[in-house]
Structures are given as C-alpha cells and as structure tokens.
C-alpha cells in the first residue's frame, strides 16, 4: 500500500514473471473479492524486478495439454482478465519490461497503461504454433484497430514502448525510474474524483464492447483446437529445448 493506492506485484522475477497456474489462482482470488479490508481506491499492477512485467504464460504448463484442457485454460484466463477489466476500482498497469503473450493480455485488461521506455509488447504465440488465448485477439483490436492488430497477431512481432504509445496500446511512456511515480500521479488524480463515478465510467466503457463476448468464446475454442495439433507440440517443445521449431502444418 502507498497511501490509498494498492500496488500488486507479479512476483516471479526469476521466470520473468511468467503467468503460471498459481499466479492465475492468486489473481482470480484477489479480483473475485471487493477487498474492502484495504482502504484503497486505485490499484497499480506491475512486475517484480527490472526485466519483465510478465513475459507470457508458463510454456511448460501449456506443453502437452489436450484440446479440452487448453480450451478450459483459455476460458479461465479470459474470465480472470475480464474480472480485472470490470473491477470497480481503476487499475493502472505499470509496464516495467517485457509484456508478452499472456503478459500483454494482462496489461490490456488494465484500465490505463503506463510503460517504461524499456518495455516491449507483443503476442508471439504464433511462433509456438498457437494463438493468444486470454483475450488478446479481441482486446488488441479494440485498442489499436484491426489492421495493425492483425499484423502483430499474425507475425508475432514485438514492439517497443514508443511504438506502443503511437498505436494507442499505452497511455504514457516514462523513463524506468519514473514509472511508478507517474503511475502514482495518475492514481492521485483519480483519488480526487467521485468513487461511484469512477466505477460508473468503468462499467459504461466496458458496456461499449459487450457485444464482443462471442469473440472471446471463439478465441477459447480455437485455442483449444490449435493446442491439440502437432505444430503446437513442436512449438512448445522447441521453446523448452531453446531451438527453432519446425512446423509441418499438422
């Protein structure tokens, strides 16, 4: 806690804060609660360490999943990130480093994003033979538009903080040492606003995109289908073995 701002750290720095099942469960537990025991009126999510916000999902946990298991995991991640997006308090993502795959999807679920100049963003899942499964195919389009979003999703290319700002993926870019101060500055501004009004804004903005619900379901179904392919097995195995994958289109 800093004042009335709750700082939530993604704390697996040795694994670049990759999102494993334990972290998902902790996020789910946190955002399923009103957390009234904390006298907070804003939340900042950031990554522990200097290298990463969250460098994707834990690939070792994805390798070997059946189609049904993968679809279930995708829906679980989507539901958790929707809880973040729909949370009644404003949530600021302070992106201190790599925000890749699931980490980028988590950042996009935040209401406001501030990036360190060292941050990198991307949805590189196609390089593993899979697609984003936690809402990335939907939120990236909402934030930066279909054309550029489709390019980034199809190529898996990474972009730096300045490009992310130019595209509208992040609101501000700061020097690394100023990141949390800038996040706190924005949080302090919102602390002077009516809390019921802030909650109303969050609900109203989300309502604009409510028709996209079927898109999330389709993403999860497709994630499950692709996860049962030989290409995905090869992609994840190659990642674990630190080599380039050899895809066969099977």
Q: How many CB atoms lie within 10 A of CB 249?
A: 7
Q: Which residues are catalytic?
A: 105, 125
Q: Are 212 and 142 in contact (CB under 8 A)?
A: yes
Exposed / middle / buried, residue 248 (Cβ in 10 Å: 0-12, 13-18, 19+): exposed
- Evaluate whether 97 touches 47 at the Cβ level (below 8 Å): yes
- Alpha-carbon distance of 191 to 42, in angstroms, equals 7
- Give the span between the Cα atoms of 45 and 105, in whole angstroms: 13
Contact 44, 187 (CB under 8 A): yes
């Amino acid at each position: 806690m800093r004042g009335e701002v709750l700082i939530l750290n993604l704390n697996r720095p040795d694994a670049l804060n990759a999102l494993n099942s334990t972290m998902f469960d902790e996020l789910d537990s946190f955002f399923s609660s009103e957390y009234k025991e904390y006298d907070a009126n804003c939340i900042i999510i950031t990554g522990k360490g200097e290298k990463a916000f969250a460098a994707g999902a834990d690939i070792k946990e994805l390798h070997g999943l059946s189609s049904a298991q993968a679809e279930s995991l995708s829906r679980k991640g989507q539901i958790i990130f929707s809880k973040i997006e729909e949370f009644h308090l404003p949530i600021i993502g302070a992106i201190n480093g790599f925000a890749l795959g699931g980490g980028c999807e988590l950042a996009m679920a935040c209401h406001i994003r501030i990036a360190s100049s060292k941050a990198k963003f991307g949805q590189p899942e196609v390089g593993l033979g899979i697609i984003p499964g936690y809402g990335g195919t939907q939120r990236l389009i909402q934030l930066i538009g279909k054309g550029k979003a489709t390019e980034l999703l199809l190529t898996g290319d990474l972009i730096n903080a300045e490009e992310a700002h130019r595209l509208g993926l992040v609101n501000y870019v700061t020097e690394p040492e100023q990141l949390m101060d800038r996040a706190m500055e924005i949080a302090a501004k919102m602390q002077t606003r009516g809390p019921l009004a802030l909650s109303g804004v969050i609900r109203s903005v989300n309502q604009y995109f409510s028709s996209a619900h079927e898109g999330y379901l389709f993403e999860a179904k497709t994630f499950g289908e692709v996860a049962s392919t030989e290409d995905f097995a090869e992609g994840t195995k190659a990642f674990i073995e630190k080599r380039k994958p050899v895809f066969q289109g099977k």
